[in-house]
Structure 1
Amino acid sequence: MTSPTPLTAAPDLAEPTPGFAGSIGVARRDITPPPGIFIRVWGPATEDVSTGTHRPLTLTALALVADGQDPLVLLAADLGWWQDPADEWHVRGSVLERLGLDSARVLLSLSHTHAGPSTYRGDAGQPGGHLIPPYLDALRDAAVGAAEEALARCVEATLTWTTGRSGVAGNRDLPRDDRYVVGYNPAAHADDTLLVGRVTGADGAVIATLVNYACHPTTLAWQNTLVSPDFAGALREVVEDGTDGAPCLFLQGASGDLAPREQYVGDTAVADRHGTALGHAALGALCAMPAAGTELACLGVVESGAPLAIWGLRTVAQPRSARASHHDVPVALKDDLPTIEELEVAWADIDPLSRVERIRRARNLRASYSDDGAATHPLWVWSLGDCAIVGQPGELYSAFQERLRARFPERAVVVLNVTNAPGAVYLPPEHLYDENIYPVWQTLLARGSMERVLDAAVTDLDERAGP
């Protein structure tokens, strides 16, 4: 058999597999709320309470421990968004307290489903609202229990990443007349990056998978009265069926401008179709991944009718370093931010239910930031070997993740929206501030805020480069 001639006077050619090696464990809890809980989180919704469940809601904990360090705990939950800092801290703060961890070391990432229950104690007086306080207690217990179990189940493992593609998400900024509406714009660019992580034990078995994709879970809208994880439910089912039942964590990406092309429906089959498509795309990426502990490299040349470059797998050791940081990024509030009274006047002619919902959201957002013209936006950055996880509570546009990944092409960069503290404001790129578009008039933050958060993430990852 002909052996490849080793490459001479040529650079080492390889396709690195970004990863992290350490002690890793996973655990899951069912967080499906009881029927009858308050679910009217869409402005035009007419039904107040859930009538049942489409698919279970889950909370999955992934614990990662680097040599000699405190653990990192990533919690992925099928929930929408937080409206009050106290409600969010009731869950995440309890995990930090129980495990004795610094606040930088726990990320509570929400899928952002719009078909979930209210998690706002301020809704306790609404129909079905009496179920919210005990549900928040159940969420706290589920998060603490899953985190503890994940730590107890930690074994030596590797987390490696690959990139796939999916066309489920489309751009949702659609210009119509003198404004933009929120709906599929087939003429605009949509980031189709599907980042897939695989946790593999020393025996080669898959322990868990992670799917990071940017797409608003707004398939199901005001017509739907079933609690649902939206497309994340079917996505997990497909991936878990293809990985011998290993738990799959869905991680919502920077989806401020991305959503399913077909959305705002009451038919749960559409959400399942989206999730199935995403799941198969994730499995396709997983199938193409090299085995754990290996990478694809150019081994040499075979002289044939043409000189043939021979690529194959070679053993590689994954880095074992891990670092975590929390930043409060200085941002500015809009100079012309309207008062609540001015908003009530401006929205006087729209649907009454929608007006009430808009005003309520505006009040809650203002409570999350200072009102002196300055504010900070929280940012968490984890460096895991040559991977990075960047989380924050707002709704970043996909330009954020595209620019960050372009800046660090050698790393797997996971970007998380709706993670940790409240602050579900949009962070659109600065050029959109000249447009009549919902994310710009919804946000409290001034032009350039997304870019400031991006600069902070770049600075952190630059400083933490290397072992």
Structure 2
Amino acid sequence: MITFNYLEMKRTLIIVLLLVTGVSKGADMKVGIASRPITPPLPFWMSGYAVRNAPSTEVLHDIWAKAMVIEKNEKNRVVIVTTDLLGLSPEISEGIAQRVEKKHGVDRSQLLLNSSHTHCGPAVWPSLSMIFDFSPEDQRKAVNYNLKLIEDIVDIIDSAFAKLTPMQLWSGHGSTDFAMNRRQPTDHGIINGINPKGPVDHDVPVLIAKTPDGKIRAILFGYACHNTTLGGNSINISGDYAGFAQIELQKAYPEATALFFIGCAGDQNPQPRGTVDLAMQHGKSLTDAVQKVLLSNNLKPIYPPIRTAYQKVSLGFQSFNIDSCRSDILSSDIFKQRRAKLMLEAYNKNWDISEYTYPLQVVRFNRDLTILAMGDEVVVDYSLKMKKKYRNENLFVAGYCNQVMCYIPSKRVLEEGGYEAETSMIYYGLPGPFKNEIEDRITIAVSKLMKEVGVKTSKNNK
């Protein structure tokens, strides 16, 4: 005899309805993914290391630009682009933004551009322009590559929009530990070395897109570590450890596109480093961390609405010292000479070199996930500070977003000095260093953007 259990049936129906409601709510968003190789025509000068004295003539593996469009509707969407490049210039980023706004109505706050900061990619002029002495032909190639890069990225965004299909987003966090702080204290100040006791951020944030039947189509993942396993003696084009990680993930998930974004890696280096085998090893470590997240039961669903905010902040440089420039232009250091020449030209032509324009961006999905996108080479202090300040948020912190034209030191790093605070300004062709107020100005701007996307400040968020 079959017993009719009304309460049990009611309970089952409620569970089914909740599951169906949850899936439909998440799948109500659409996702489109597209990618394209952006390997330069060889021979081509590489960026990242001043010691190189010849262009690249070989490719270890192709480098890529990848786009993921996530959309509920025109007011609730974001376009995330990742590139296997040292970084983008404002000219390139704004060129892309203007075209995408015209074609798709994408607001500037809805376009997030990240570069993996590989030092085995092409020169993206004028970033780190002081390390180059281009011939007219080299300059022509560099300019043409920039123009082609804008076209390619706009094209993959077009393709991603054309491929929009219902999907569910999920996020999680893993960990791997090959990043080490490189600001080594010595009797003569801070040098680029190893500092096992220095601050690090070993978080591996992951965002995936699944079809309604559960197939993974996109894996966005990040890590706060300089993409510099390979040194200046390497002249083969590659995405370094981040490139290998993306390759491995796409082998494991053939129907998915893997997109890497770098975190606040300004003062973080991979250890050990120096060979292709080590780049592959670190890529495998990162892949393993991501796969553990994907196979875990801890993934959380991500829902709309999607709120975005974007702001450019003025960061002041310390007082310009014309006497130092006059001295540097007579220096035996060719990089100091080039920077001094540029600064003296700016001084004599009354160009304003007192401030730097810095982009900040926040993307928030409901109350489920918040992405803080910071421009340039941000030191890890910012990531740790923001995660503490906004501890109630599921927070991804990305550096190297929208432009890479200098380092962004914290107040602590500025006070200590060293490469990230001072010397790097030579190679980037900026007056530097920044004023000590830089961290406070950035923190205030981030607070404003967080408020715009609905993050409520509380006594705990300090």
TM-score (norm 1): 0.80
What is the CA deviation profile of residues 300-329 of structure 1, one whole-angstrom value per residue up to 9, with x for unaligned ones?
xxxxxxxxxxxxxxxxxx431111111122
- Give the equivalent residue in structure 2 for 1:413: 395
Partner SS state of residue 244, structure 1: coil
2:236 aligned with 1:226, yes or no?
A: yes
- Pair 1:236-2:242 in alignment: no
Return the alpha-carbon distance in structure 2 between the equivalents of residues 419 and 291 of structure 1: 25
Matched, 1:95 2:100: yes
Aligned runs of 1:224-303 on 2, under 5 Å? 224-263=234-273, 265=274, 267-290=275-298, 293=301
CA RMSD of aligned residues (A): 3.0
1:210 equivalent to 2:217? Answer no
2:29 corresponds, among 19, 22, 40, to 22
> Deviation per CA, 1:314-363, whole angstroms, max 9, x where unpaired?
xxxx431111111122433223x434x724635866654x5467668989
**Whole-angstrom distance in 1 between the partners of 2:234 and 2:451:** 45
Give the Cα–Cα distance (whole angstroms) in 2 for the partners of residues 357 and 401 of structure 1.
33
State the AA in 1 paired with 2:438.
Answer: S
1:131 Cα shift?
2.2
Query: How far apart are 1:63 and its partner, in Å?
Result: 0.1
- Where 1:66 maps in the other structure, the secondary structure is strand
C-alpha distance in 2 between matches for 1:231 and 1:210: 15
Which residue type is aligned with residue 54 of structure 1? Answer: L
Call closer, same or farther: CA 1:72–1:111 in 2, change over 3 Å: same
Q: Which residue of 1 aligns with 2:210?
A: 200
Contact 1:200 1:292 in 2 (8 A): no
**Partner residue, 2:122:** 117
What letter is aligned with 2:316? Answer: A
Q: Equivalent residue of 2:29, what SS?
A: strand
Aligned mates of 1:235, 1:453 — CA distance in 2: 31
Mapping 1:33-432, distance limit 5 Å: 33-39=40-46, 41-47=48-54, 49-67=55-73, 69=75, 71-82=77-88, 85-120=90-125, 125=135, 128-263=138-273, 265=274, 267-290=275-298, 293=301, 318-335=302-319, 337-339=320-322, 342-343=324-325, 345-346=327-328, 352=334, 354-355=335-336, 371=352, 373-385=354-366, 386-421=368-403, 424-432=405-413
Verify the 8 A CA contact 1:76 1:108 in the aligned structure 2.
Answer: yes
Q: What amino acid does structure 2 have at the position aligned with 1:211?
A: F
Separation in 2 of the partners of 1:153 and 1:279? 26
TM norm structure 2: 0.81
Letter of the 1:254 partner, please give it. Answer: C
Distance 1:334 1:272, change over 3 A: same
Distance 1:37 1:360 in 2: 26
Q: CA distance change for structure 1 residues 88 and 365 in 2, over 3 Å: closer, same or farther?
A: farther
Q: Distance in 2 between matches of 1:159 and 1:364?
A: 51
Report the Cα distance in structure 2 between the residues aligned to 1:291 and 1:88, rounded to whole angstroms. Answer: 32
Q: Aligned equivalents of 1:172 and 1:28: distance in 2?
A: 33
CA distance in 2, matches of 1:347, 1:372: 18
**CA–CA separation in structure 2 for the residues paired with 1:412 and 1:227:** 35
CA offsets per residue over residues 396-452 of structure 1, 9 Å max, x none?
Answer: 221211221222333322222222145x32222212322231111134421131232
Which segment is superposed worse, 196-205 or 281-290? 281-290
Report the 3-state secondary structure (helix = DSSP H, G, I; strand = E; otherwise coil) of the residue aligned with 1:28: strand
Distance 2:142 2:175 in 1: 38
Cα distance between partner residues in 1 of 2:344 and 2:158: 36
Residue identity over aligned pairs, in percent, reads 22
* CA spacing shift, 1:466–1:377, aligned 2, 3 Å: closer
- Describe the shift of the 1:126–1:193 C-alpha distance in structure 2 as closer, same or farther (beyond 3 A): farther
1:27 shift after superposition: 0.7
Q: 8 Å contact 1:92–1:420 — kept in the other structure?
A: no
Give the number of aligned pairs.
415
Match of 1:452 among 438, 441, 446: 441
How many Å separate the matches in 1 of 2:245 and 2:327? 43
Query: What is the Cα deviation at residue 230 of structure 1?
Result: 1.0
For structure 2, the 5+ residue unaligned runs are 1-7, 9-25, 426-431, 457-462
Change in Cα spacing, 1:142 to 1:364, as seen in structure 2 (3 Å) is farther
Deviates more, 1:117-126 or 1:70-79: 117-126
- 1:181–1:437 contact (8 Å) kept in structure 2: yes
Measured against aligned partners, the alpha-carbon deviations of 1:60-119 in whole angstroms (never above 9, x if no partner) come to 000011245264211101111245x33443344333333232222111211111111112
- Change beyond 3 A, Cα 1:33–1:351: same
Unmatched segments (≥5 aa) in structure 1: 4-18, 294-317
The CA distance in 2 between the partners of 1:461 and 1:235, in whole Å, is 31
Distance (whole Å) between structure 2 residues aligned to residue 363 and residue 100 of structure 1: 42
How far the C-alpha of 1:21 sits from its partner, in A, is 6.1
Task: Summarize the Cα distance change of 1:349–1:449 in structure 2 as closer, same or farther, 3 Å threshold.
Answer: same
CA distance in 2, matches of 1:292, 1:155: 20
CA contact (8 A) 2:309 2:452 kept: no
Q: 1:114 to 1:100 in 2, by over 3 A?
A: same
Task: Give the AA of the match of 2:296.
Answer: A
Sort the Cα spacing of 1:466 and 1:107 in 2 relative to 1 into closer, same or farther, 3 A: closer
Return the alpha-carbon distance in structure 1 between the equivalents of residues 111 and 167 of structure 2: 20
Q: CA deviation at 1:185?
A: 1.2
Q: CA deviation at 1:251?
A: 0.4
The 3-state SS of whatever aligns with 1:262 is coil
Give the counterpart letter for 2:270 in structure 1: P
